[in-house]
A and B are shown apart, each in its own frame.
Chain A
Amino acid sequence: MTTETTRPTRPSLDDPRVAIPGSSSWYEPAPTPQTERQAEFLNLRDGEMFINMGPQHPSTHGVLRIIVKVNGEQVIDLDPVLGYLHRGVEKLCENADYHQAICYTDPLEYVSSLFCEAAPVAAFEKLMDVEVPRRAQYIRVLTMELNRIASHTLFQGWMALDLGGLTPILWSFIERDEIVDMLAALTGQKLLYNYYRIGGVNGDLNHEFMSRLGAWMSRAAKHIDSNLGLMNENELFVRRTRDLGTLDAATALRMGVTGPNLRASGVPFDLRRDRPYLVYPELEFDVPTRTEGDALARYLVRIEEIKQSIRIIDQVLHEMPDGPVMAKLPRLIRPRPGRAFGAVEGPRGVYGVYAISDGTDQPFRMRIHDPSFVHLQLVGPLTRGNLIADTMAVMASLDPVMGGVDK
């Protein structure tokens, strides 16, 4: 018997033993289709291929993975993969008391967090049947409209960024930073304010906030108009977004679209006017609507909303009454058993919270309805047949925020 040892030949990459454990899931084979839709998506016809986009991508507005089926430069189909920012907010809210639940819903849509607070607060106030002082209502309207402007200016910058323009985001962040800083002077916290309380707001308006707001209001309209000139008069931008991702009113209503995306399709539905809450019935404002339903219309509706928000803030500052900012409530809140739905009109659509109380100090169930999740399902239908580069333009015009999508 020879004791000659043979050196093993170098294994090829096709050898299954070479697979490195732990890193295989990224390259997992295509799954076996479970549904008819999935079978259709996974079936590659001649000349088609899959391209993976994300979850880390500069223009997916967060951590979203999109599997795009392309034929050359043309998008045939697309499948978003969600859940990369799922933080379990609804479950956390069920294990927190009513005051703490507001803090958990705060970072859902982190560019418009005051609306994410306002929806659960409205639901809890209905559960408690508590009357909010008028000054607190005015302060809520004031801060929400400021947050709407901050969110829409960010949208403007992001949309330009996704289309390849860097300058507008530098301009829009000037306005956004000023608004966020003045809200930080009011609430003590940047970005995630945690300002609304059940039955009022946490603290009255202070001097720094008012002086910064006054200085900003005197130049806001002029600055925002000059920002608009960068994009509205840019022929490249207008020609690229016109007739891109057209959404008709019937489809929009069927898909449950709300907010500016719905109004851009010609349906003048605004919760502030049609289901009034807080002091909105007493304020005068228009609901900007367009009929085209394309990406440009969605952009222009949001720009008009900025102007309407400035108008609302102007009225609120003139009509704000004196008085308390907090209703008298026990420190530990135990609503009677029951159900309540609170909704507000946010910068992306209707934020809603459906809360069920079982009589304890914690909500039994909190269902959070977020408009971003609804709007994300439009990305597929609207981008079919367009070019790859237009996928992000359509998505930017729908303006979803992944924190709200994944909750």
Chain B
Amino acid sequence: MAMSDEKNAAKALIAPVAAKNTLWTTDNPRAYGGVPLEEHPNLELARYEATGDGRVDDARWGGALAAIPTKADVVLDLIRANSLWPLLSGLACCAIEMMSTATSKNDIDRWGAFPFRASPRQADVLIVAGTLTTKMAEPLIRLWEQMPEPKWVVAMGDCTCSGGRYKRSYSVVQGIDRVMPVDVYIPGCPPRPEGLIYGMMKLQQLVKDRRGHWAQRAIGPTVPEGI
């Protein structure tokens, strides 16, 4: 018994100090610039935000197929991984290498999975190719929001991974993971087309393994495990 107490004391000693997060559970609805539910200008939106009722998870089968989620999801992921449609959006230098990936020599269409689409409504993958500046950040986030879920982001090039050679610039976003969640990082300035193809194959594996899936993913700098 004494041994157990000592163990508990030791456990308590090394246990992290857990401070309760009162930020999101405040009783005062007006705290942090909020409004009470009754005064919210868009009541339905507020209820949806508070409860999540009526949320449609369009990444999964609805209706009868929801009864067999695992098998259906495996099949669905297999289909998704083999038809990832990237958005044809180039920002700077890496866009040229991205075009080279899509054209004759490194024909990425050989995988049958990567036809570049010009509309975000038809795209699954956003390949951010090139330096993202602060002025371009908002349109790019808008593009990403226009893409239907499930969607993935590939950061191509050093500039999008971390700022790269423009690390000290006043007008460059130092890594796109500051503004959107990233699934695959491809370093290089610019990466070779072989590098982009390798990254896209990694993304296929990631989709099949259901890692870095959008539903379970936090917003912010995230690196999926095991990559």
Q: A25-B138, A92-B166 are in contact. Are A110 and B91 (CB under 8 A)?
A: no
Q: Judging by beta carbons under 8 Å apart, are A171 and B93 in contact? A: no
Beta-carbon contact of A58 and B88 below 8 Å? yes
Question: Which chain A residues border B43 with CB–CB below 8 Å?
Answer: 7-8, 10
| Interface flag for B172 (CB, 8 Å) | yes
Within 8 A of B (CB), among A151-171: 154, 169-171
- A97–B93 alpha-carbon span in the complex (Å): 23
Binary CB contact string for chain B from 6 to 28 against chain A (1 if under 8 A, 0 otherwise): 00000000000000000000000
Chain A residue nearest to B95 in the complex (CB):
A62
How many residues of B are in contact with the other chain, CB < 8 A? 43
Stretch touching chain B among A82-90, A233-241, A246-254: A82-90
CB distance from A162 to the nearest CB of B (A): 13
Residues of A within 8 A of B138 (CB): 25-26
Would you call B140 and A177 a contact (CB within 8 A)? no
Q: How far is the CA of A100 from the CA of B183 in the complex (A)?
A: 32
B180-219 interface code vs A (CB 8 A; 1 in, 0 out): 0000000001101000000000000000000000000000
Q: How does the 8 Å CB contact mask read for A93-124 relative to B, with 1 for contact and 0 for none? A: 00100000001100100110000000000000
Flag whether A229 is at the interface (Cβ < 8 A). no
Evaluate contact between B93 and A17: CB separation under 8 angstroms.
no
**CB-CB under 8 A for A62 and B91, given A8-B43, A171-B104:** yes
Q: Is B169 a contact of A55 with CB atoms below 8 Å?
A: no
Task: Say yes or no for A11: interface residue by CB 8 A criterion.
Answer: yes
B89 in the interface, Cβ–Cβ < 8 Å?
Answer: yes
**Residue of A at shortest CB range from B134?**
A86
Q: Does A174 sit within 8 A of B, measured CB to CB?
A: yes
Is there a chain A Cβ closer than 8 Å to B162's Cβ? no
B123-134 interface bits toward A, Cβ cutoff 8 Å, 1 = contact, 0 = none: 000000011010
- Whether A191 pairs with B190 at a CB distance below 8 angstroms is yes
Q: Do B44 and A86 have beta carbons less than 8 Å apart?
A: no
B92 touches A85 (CB 8 A): yes
Residue in chain B with minimal CB distance to A16? B41
| Contact partner, A169, options B44, B103, B192, Cβ 8 Å | B103
A191 engages B44 (CB within 8 Å)? no
- Whether A11 touches B41, Cβ cut-off 8 Å, given contacts A87-B131, A170-B103, A173-B99, is yes
Contact B92 A110 (CB under 8 A): yes
Tell me whether chain A's interface is mostly helix, strand or loop, or mixed: loop
Question: B89 to A56, Cβ gap below 8 A?
Answer: yes
Q: Is the CB of A56 within 8 A of B139?
A: yes
| Contact B105–A173 (Cβ < 8 Å) | yes
Which of B41, B169, B189 contacts A92, CB < 8 Å? B169
Verify B41–A87 contact, CB threshold 8 A.
Answer: no
- Assess whether A403 is in contact with B93, with CB atoms less than 8 Å apart: yes
List residues of A (18-76) whose CB comes within 8 Å of B's CBs. 18, 25-26, 55-56, 58, 62-63
A-side contacts of B100, CB under 8 Å: 173, 176-177, 180
What is the CA–CA distance of A107 and B91 in the complex, to the nearest angstrom? Answer: 12
Contact of A86 among B91, B135, B142 (CB under 8 A): B135
| Those of A385-407 within 8 Å (CB) of chain B | 402-403
Q: Is residue A325 contacting chain B, with contact meaning CB distance below 8 A? A: no
Q: What is the bound-complex CA distance between A332 and B105, given in angstroms?
A: 42
**CA distance in complex: A18, B40 (Å):** 9
Given contacts A7-B43, A15-B41, A169-B103, contact A107 B92 (CB under 8 A): yes
- Is the pair A5, B38 in contact by a Cβ cutoff of 8 Å? yes
A356 at the interface (CB under 8 A from B): no
Quick one: which of B89, B170, B189 contacts A192, CB cutoff 8 A?
B189
Interface centre among B92, B136, B139, B190 (most CB of A within 10 A): B92
In angstroms, Cα B140 to Cα A56, docked, is 8
A261 to B95, CA, bound (A): 25
Bound together, the chains give a CA A404 to CA B43 distance in angstroms of: 49
B118 at the interface (CB under 8 A from A): yes
- Cβ-based interface call for B96 (8 A): yes
Cross-interface CB contact of A84 among B88, B136, B190, cutoff 8 Å: B136
- Please tell me if B177 contacts chain A, counting CB pairs below 8 Å: no
A18 to B97, CA, bound (A): 43
CA gap between A191 and B105 in the complex, in Å = 16
Binding site for B on A (CB under 8 A): 5, 7-8, 10-11, 15, 17-18, 25-26, 55-56, 58, 62-63, 83-88, 91-92, 95, 103-104, 107, 110-111, 154, 169-171, 173-174, 176-177, 180, 190-192, 402-403
* 19 additional contacts (CB under 8 A) given A85-B130, A87-B171, A173-B104: A25-B138, A56-B139, A62-B90, A84-B139, A86-B171, A88-B169, A88-B172, A92-B168, A104-B165, A111-B96, A169-B103, A171-B104, A174-B104, A174-B105, A177-B100, A177-B103, A177-B106, A190-B192, A191-B97
B-to-A contact residues, CB < 8 Å: 38-44, 88-93, 95-97, 99-100, 103-106, 118, 130-131, 133, 135-136, 138-140, 142-143, 165-166, 168-172, 189-190, 192
Shortest 4 CB-CB contacts between residues of A and residues of B:
A110-B93, A173-B103, A17-B41, A88-B169
